[in-house]
Amino acid sequence: MILELAYITAAAVISLILFIALDIFWKLPKEGGVSGADAISREIVAAGGDKNGGWMLGNIICSPDASAGTLLAACGYWICGIPGGIAVAVLVFIGARICADKGWAGTSGALAATIIIWALSTFAGFPPEAFIAGMIIAILLVQGISPLHASRALGSIWRKI
């Protein structure tokens, strides 16, 4: 039980770092990529949050980004192994186009997560389902506790980089 919780905690930290790094790499906090993201950012700013962090949260909500790619790749790898992860990357690419998002964050997130989960489950003994639970905890930390404070933290990370 304690070992399983440790795996889930480690998977949550790895997923959190992976999707925030990829979202910042694809410049999600720079602007609202889709129209709904702008509205969410304005609402977060009106409540006292950060504009860039708000755009990033808006983009996460309004189109499948690296966080969605990581979660769905974990599901795909758990069900079908590496082919499942690649299938998810293709489906996320189609899904992002359906949401009028021209970016590559979701697809690259799914591929990167598949490689990381394959490496960690093959060489470090991580159960792939730990990444499903871990990613849920990671997105809970970013969006589910306090979007205001998360937007400020993400905005300050974006400005530092």
Partner 1 sequence: MLELAAAVCAVVAVYAALRAVLEKNTLRKLPFINVMNFAVAGIIALILPHPLTLVAAVAYFVGATLEANAIASALAKLTPEDEP
Report DSSP letters for 59-111, one per residue: HHHHS--HHHHHHHHHHHHHHHSHHHHHHHHHHHHHHHHHTT----HHHHHHH
CB 151: neighbour CB atoms within 10 A? 29
Is 72 a residue that touches partner 1 (CB under 8 A)? yes
Local structure of residue 13 (DSSP, 8 states): H
Give the whole-angstrom CA distance, residue 100 versus residue 115: 27
Q: Which of 132, 154, 155, 158 binds partner 1 (CB under 8 A)?
A: 132
Q: Nearest approach, Cβ of 159 to partner 1 (angstroms)?
A: 20
CB 84: neighbour CB atoms within 10 A? 19
- 17 to 36, contacts with partner 1 by CB under 8 A? 34-36
Q: Nearest approach, Cβ of 94 to partner 1 (angstroms)?
A: 8
Beta strands in the chain (DSSP E): none
Per-residue contact string for residues 82-101; x = within reach of partner 1 by CB under 8 A = --x--xx--xx-xx--xxx-
Is 154 a residue that touches partner 1 (CB under 8 A)? no
Residues that bind partner 1 (CB under 8 A): 1, 4-5, 7-8, 34-40, 42-44, 46-47, 57-58, 60-64, 67-68, 71-72, 75-76, 78-80, 84, 87-88, 91-92, 94-95, 98-100, 127, 129-130, 132-133, 135-137, 139-140, 143-144, 147
